[in-house]
Amino acid sequence: MEDPVTQPETGSHYLQPDRNLAMELVRATEAAAIRAAPFIGRGDKNAADGAAVDAMRAFLGTVNFDGVVVIGEGEKDEAPMLFNGEHVGNGRGPSCDIAVDPIDGTSLTAAGRQNALSVIAVSDRGSMFDPSAVFYMDKIVTGADGIGVVDISQSIGDNIRELAKAKGKQPEDIRVAVLDRPRHAQLIEEIRAAGAGTRLLLDGDVAGGINAARYDSRIDMCVGIGGTPEGIITACAVKALGGLIQGKLMPKDDAERERALAAGHDLDRVLGANDLVRGDNTYFVATGVTHGELVDGVQRKGPIIRTESLVLRSRSGTIRRVEADHLAAKWL
């Protein structure tokens, strides 16, 4: 990890250079994406996910860190998925919480649609919010312009108007990403009534949230109810992008509500980025499985397999795009 170091002569501070863990983790998302690629458009999302999981687990085992999966695919008896509580890495190096989604968008992959990603998010040990009690969360994500302006407690119309003003736009210039689900029918109507346009997502709200936080994206805001694990993964990326994320837990039924209350959760509390993942040392890595606005998907070019990845780190504020050519013969 990095520590501030004082130079005696000047009193100034700099960050001592260290190993960027994300540049090692990207090998795992690349491997998962490559192994999932043969299943694109084949209609079998479980086969695609299984291939991605196996590849990701194998490559994570070579990474120099002691990771514990906080957000995975469930409990150990559901193996071979990467399960909650599983230790990954070679056990040496920094101790970390890790969130994995070998394919965010398995249905997109199976159907051959855009925006499927292989994703890993990492933070210091004990810093990730435990989402086990409540699976769904109402979320709002914007770029830096939304900080101090947008609030999940406001109406969507007010948020659109306030964000438009902060960005020097008109409401009709605002584009809002939202999962295309029956539960969002009223929300979609309200977005359009406010004059904004919608970008309806078939799946994959991690990509939607990150695009909303990017300064160079055509999406200005991502809203709606999606998975709590995806919210925490998105928070790791948003911290590196300097954007805004807020969420409120949304139990799906009375039984889940009771479990949430028993776990000590305040269901009226607005969770910010620092509640979802504490500290300023988060990593986010995503490799495209299928093409999308965030990154290109896996491409076969003669003897080469090409991947594109997004690599983010909050402490250094770096945003890297990694394009890699892999010799296809090595993946047979």
Judged against a pLDDT cut of 90, whether residue 85 lies above it is answered with no
- Other C-beta atoms closer than 10 Å to the C-beta of 66 total 17
| Residue 136 is assigned to a ligand binding site | yes
297 is in an annotated binding site: no
- Tell me which residue has tokens 């904004």: 196
pLDDT surpassing 70 at residue 290: yes
Alpha-carbon distance of 110 to 293, in angstroms, equals 19
Neighbouring CB atoms inside 10 A of 262's CB total: 9
| pLDDT per position as a tens digit, 171-201 | 999 999 999 999 999 999 999 999 999 999 9
pLDDT tens digit sequence for 132-168: 788 899 999 999 999 999 999 999 999 999 999 999 9
Question: Binding site annotation covers 230?
Answer: yes
Between 1 and 285, the higher pLDDT residue: 285
- Across residues 285-307, what is the average pLDDT? 96
126 is in an annotated binding site: no
In sequence order, the β-bridge partners of residue 4 are 15
What pTM did the predictor assign? 0.88
Spatial neighbors of 18 by CB under 8 A, at least 6 apart, are 1, 2
Domains with residue ranges and CATH for the chain: 21-126+281-330 (3.30.540.10), 136-274 (3.40.190.90)
Q: Is 105 annotated as a binding residue?
A: yes
**pLDDT tens-place string over residues 220-265:** 999 999 988 899 999 999 999 999 999 999 999 999 999 889 988 9
Confirm or deny that 183 is annotated as ligand binding.
yes
Q: Give the residue-averaged pLDDT of 11-27.
A: 65
Beta bridge pairs of residue 310: 286, 321
Nearest Cα to Cα of residue 56 among 42, 36, 71:
36
Q: Is the pLDDT confidence value at 34 over 80?
A: yes
How does 295-320 read in b/e, with b if 16+ C-beta sit within 10 Å? Answer: bbbbeeeeeebebbbbbbbbbbeebe
Render pLDDT for 247-256 as a digit per residue (tens, 0 to 9): 999 999 999 9
What value does the mean pLDDT take over residues 268-280? 94
Share of the chain above pLDDT 90, in %: 75
317 marked as part of a ligand binding site: no
pLDDT at 19: 61
181 is in an annotated binding site: yes
Determine if residue 112 is left, alpha or beta; phi over 0 gives left, psi from -120 to 50 gives alpha, anything else beta. left
Q: Which candidate, 199, 241, 202, 239, places its Cα nearest to that of 223? A: 199
317 Cβ contact partners less than 8 Å away, ≥ 6 residues apart = 240, 242
Is the CB of residue 249 less than 8 Å from the CB of residue 227?
Answer: no
Is there a binding annotation on residue 227?
Answer: yes
pLDDT at 132: 77
